[in-house]
Amino acid sequence: MELKVPSDAYITQYQQQQHLDHARSWIQHLSRQSIDHAPFFVRHTTLVCTLGELWDSDEKIDQMIKGGTNILRLNLSMGSKERYAEVIRRVRSLEKSYGHNPSVGIALDLSAPPVRTGLVNGSVDGTIVLQNGQMTKLTIDSQYENKTTSSIIWINSQYFPSILNSIATGDRIYIDEGIISLIVRDVEVNSISCFVEQGGEVGSYKRVHFPCERMYEATFNNLYKSDLEFAVQCQVDYVFTGYSINVDQIIQAKNILGKDILLFAKIETKDSVKNLHDIMTYSDGIIIGRGSLSLCYPNEKVFQIQKQIIAKCNIFQKPVFVITHLLESMRFKPRATRAEISDVANAVLDGADGLILTVETSRGLFPKESLTVLHKTCREAESTIFHERFWIDLKTAREVRGLSTWDPAYFACLAAVEASTTSNSSAIFVITTSGRSALAIASFHPSCPVVAIMRRPEIARKCHSIRGIHPFVYTAKSIFQEQLEKQLGSHVCDAHPEAAWNDIRKAVETVVISASTVNRKVREQHWISAASAALIDAWKLISSGSEHNEERSQLKHKLTRSLRNDCEQWWIAKAREMEKAATIGNSRQLFRLVKETDC
C-alpha cells in the first residue's frame, strides 16, 4: 500500500527521534518525551485480525486490509473448513489484484482443545446471564446446540467425545477465560449439573476450560492431524496452535506442515511456560495466550510472564505475538478504555512483534474501529521507544548467551542497524530472496523501517512475523539466475573461449552484486582463489566442438561453485574485521568496512 507523506514532515519526525535516541539512559530518554511530537508515519508492529461474519465480504475485507491488517486469522473452531477454504481463495485473489503490495498473510488457528459453548438462542451475538448461586447444566446433547439458555448450556466436545468421563464432583469448570466459574455437583450420562460460583454474562462460542480435558487425546490427535493437513492443502502462511505443551507436539506438527508454513506455538499452560526454551527452539514463533495463563497463574503474575517471554524471544530472534483481551470493551463500544490502551502500548514497548485481535473483530460490532485504535496506539508507542539502547541491549544479551557467531550475515545486519542509527536514516532497504537477511536486521528493532524487496509473494507474507519489516514484491522479469545460466551456457559451443570467459566473469559478478550486495570494490580486490584461477585457465584451454560439451558443462558448475565459495570467504574475512573494529571501538574502521561491503 502506497504511503504518501510530505518529505519535510518525514524529516521532522526523524529529527525528533534523533534527539531522543542520543540520550544516555532510559530515564533521560523518557524525560525528553514531548506530548506534541508526531507519531511515526509508518507502523512497525504487525496487526492480526480474526475474521468475523460482520466483515466476511470482499469489500469489507478490502477495507480491513487497507486499514492496516497484516495477517488474517481464521479460527477453525468457529467455522467450517469449506467456508475458510473459500475465504482463503478470495483473500488471495484480492492480494493479487493489489499486485501483492500490500501482502496479506493468512493464519489458521488450531486452538487445543476447542471446547466451546453453543449458540445462545440461535444467535452469534446472543448472551445469557448466570447468577451467583444458581444451578445450571452443561450438556453434549446436540438438540441444544443452538438453544443455549441460563439453565442448560450446550458445549462442543467434538475433539473430546468422552470428556464427561474425566469430570468428578467438586471439579471447577471455567467459561470465557475464567470470567465464569462453575463447581460440579453431579455427573450424568450426557450432562453435568453445576453450581454457579461466579456468575456473569455468557455469549455464544465462549471457551470452556475443563480440569482434565487432555486425558482423551486419541480422538483429538486424529482431528488435529486432519486440521494440519487442511492447512497444507490451503497453503496458508501461518498456523497458530495451542497443542504445544512439549517439543514432541511441535515436531509432530512441523513434520506435517513442512518448511513452507510457519508454526506459532501458543504458551497457555504451566507446562508450556516450563518448556518455553525447547518450544522456542523447534517452533517458528510464540504466541502469549494471556487469557489461559490467567487460569494457571495469579492475574498479577501474568504481566511478568508476558515481559519474560517477550524478552527471551527478542534475544533468540524468535517472533512473538500477544493475544487475548487487548481491546475487549470495543466488542460493544466504539471507544477503548485507558487501561486497554496502556496494555497495548506496554506490549509494544516490551518488544512484541505482533498483536492479535480476537473477539474485537470476530464478533465485535466495531471491527474497523478496533483496528484503527490498535494502529494509532502502536504508532504512538513505537515513537517513544529508546531504539538505540534497545538494540545495544539485544546485541549484548545475544553475545552473553553465545548467540553471536562468525556468520558474516550477522555482522552485516548489525552494521546496517548501527549505521542507520548513527546517520538517522529514514529506512533500510534490503534486497532478499529468502527474507532471512531482512528478518535478521529487523530482529534488532531499528528505529527506521526495513523495506524488504523480494520476488516471491509467499516470502513477503512471512515477513510480517517480525515487526519493522515492510515487504515489497518486485514483479518485473527476473534477471539473476536466468542471466547467469544464459551467460554460462551461451558459449559452450563457441569457438572463442576468451569471449566465453569474459561473459562468464560478467555474469557471475552481476549475480554476486545483486544477490549478495557486494559492490565493485570486491571485484577490485584479490578475492578470487587459486582454485578458481586454475578453473579459469582450464576453461580457456578447452577447444570448441560438440565432443567437449560434457567437459565444458562440468567445468561450468565447478567454476560457479568455486567463485561463490571465494565470495563467502571474503565475507567471513570482512566480518572478522568488523568484529575487531567494533570490539576496540574503532568507528572509522567499522564504517569503512560498512561502506566497502555495501551493508
| Positions marked catalytic | 73, 116, 266, 324
Q: With b meaning 16 or more CB within 10 Å and e meaning fewer, what string describes 346-373?
A: ebbbbbbbbbbbbbbbbbbebbbbbbeb
Is residue 585 helix, strand or coil?
coil
Q: Are 297 and 178 in contact (CB under 8 A)?
A: no
- Rounded distance, CA 236 to CA 221, Å? 21
Q: Are 272 and 296 in contact (CB under 8 A)?
A: no
- Rounded distance, CA 3 to CA 296, Å? 44
Q: Are 453 and 429 in contact (CB under 8 A)?
A: yes
- Rounded distance, CA 108 to CA 111, Å? 9
Is residue 264 helix, strand or coil?
strand
DSSP H helical segments within 283-357, as ranges?
290-296, 299-315, 338-350
Q: With b meaning 16 or more CB within 10 Å and e meaning fewer, what string describes 510-525?
A: ebbbbbbbbeeebeee
Is residue 518 helix, strand or coil?
coil
Cα 96 to Cα 41, 82, 106: the distances in Å are 26, 22, 14
Cell numbers that stand for 83 in this block: 467456508
- Rounded distance, CA 452 to CA 372, Å? 25
- Rounded distance, CA 168 to CA 222, Å? 26
| Phi-psi region at 445: left, alpha or beta (left = phi > 0; alpha = psi -120 to 50) | left
Q: Are 336 and 330 in contact (CB under 8 A)?
A: yes
The DSSP symbol for 354 reads E
Listed residue (365, 330, 355, 326) closest to 53, CA to CA: 365
List 428's β-bridge partners, or say none: 450
DSSP sequence for 303-318: HHHHHHHHHHHHHTT-
Is residue 240 helix, strand or coil?
strand
Cell numbers that stand for 157 in this block: 466436545
Q: How deeply is 257 buried, as exposed, middle or buried, from its count of CB atoms within 10 A (0-12, 13-18, 19+)?
A: buried
Instruction: Show the CA angle centred on residue 466, arms to residues 465 and 470, nearest 5°.
Output: 95
191-198 and 135-139 strand pairing: antiparallel
In the β-sheet with 191-198, what is the strand arrangement from edge to edge? 116-117, 152-156, 135-139, 191-198, 180-187, 172-175, 208-209
